Amino acid sequence: MVAKKNDNSSGIIGILDLQGGVHEHLDHLHRLGIAGRKVKQAADFDNLAGLIIPGGESSCIFRLLNIFEIKNPLLAACRQGMKIWGTCAGAILLAKKVVGENACLGLIDIEVERNSFGSQLDSFKSEARIPEVDADSIPLTFIRAPKILNAGSTVKVLLKIGDYIAAAENDNILVTIFHPELTASTAFHRYFAAKCKVSCRINTESRADEGWNYCSWTRHARIA
Ligand code: GLN
């Protein structure tokens, strides 16, 4: 069987829809006027310019990739030109080395340590300037995040904070240990779209959409 070429002509970016923050990424793509597609089975990879692997629980997504039999179709699509961005758990799945555990996809030469900041209660927000990605400072949300401990020579570090790397890329893969989809900023989604050669039909400034307040992970509880 001849593998179908993945190119950017479709202008579609997929979101791996097994577990985790799928809708938040779709929402950000939608805000930029980019067509997004949920990806759950092998046929869904056809003609994707890019794929986002969302944050969630990497061990769960790892198992579901095997149960749904889409690990090999994903790797084949990547070989055919599909770019991939992993946020948090997604970055863990893309890493070549995971401290104390088996690596899953091994598509970028980084070593990650899961839950490296502590428990869910040690989650935090910050911000940083990443000149390659945006002229403005970018808000960063870390949720039970891994640390990228080191990166090989094929990897470009986009953001280093103290002793760990927080964002990095190679020619085909982008990884962030934080969650741009849980902030108002569309800077990283625009950056990934450019990597996929997909154009944004809506030209928002990264912080222009002040009205954005999509925080499904911090819904207000009604306390009687
Ligand atoms: N701690 C999770 C894991 O190891 C990642 C958390 C996240 O994606 N926000 O898979």
Q: Does residue 16 belong to any structural domain of this protein?
A: yes
* The pLDDT of residue 181 is above 80: yes
Catalytic residue among 25, 181, 189, 196: 181
* The pLDDT of residue 27 is above 80: yes
Q: How far is CA 187 from CA 27, 55, 94, 102, in A?
A: 14, 17, 21, 32
142 Cα–ligand 1 center, Å? 9
Which tokens in the block code for residue 54? 């969302």
Of 201, 197, 206, the residue nearest 171 (C-alpha):
197
Of 185, 191, 188, 186, the residue nearest 177 (C-alpha):
188
* The pLDDT of residue 164 is above 80: yes
pLDDT digits (tens, 9 = 90+) for 123-157: 999 999 999 999 999 999 999 999 999 999 999 99
Ligand 1 atom nearest 56 alpha carbon: 8
CA dihedral 84, 96, 89, 173 (to 10 degrees): -20
Active site residue 127: no
Domain count, the chain: 1
Q: Does residue 2 belong to any structural domain of this protein?
A: no
Q: Does residue 132 belong to any structural domain of this protein?
A: yes
Question: What range defines the domain where residue 40 resides?
Answer: 8-207+216-220
Q: What is the radius of gyration, based on Cα positions, of the chain?
A: 17
Task: Tell me the CATH number at 78.
Answer: 3.40.50.880
Does the Cβ of 57 fall within 6 Å of ligand 1?
Answer: yes
Does the Cβ of 143 fall within 6 Å of ligand 1?
Answer: yes
Beta bridge partners of residue 125, listed in sequence order: 141
Which tokens in the block code for residue 183? 């902030």
116 Cα–ligand 1 center, Å? 10
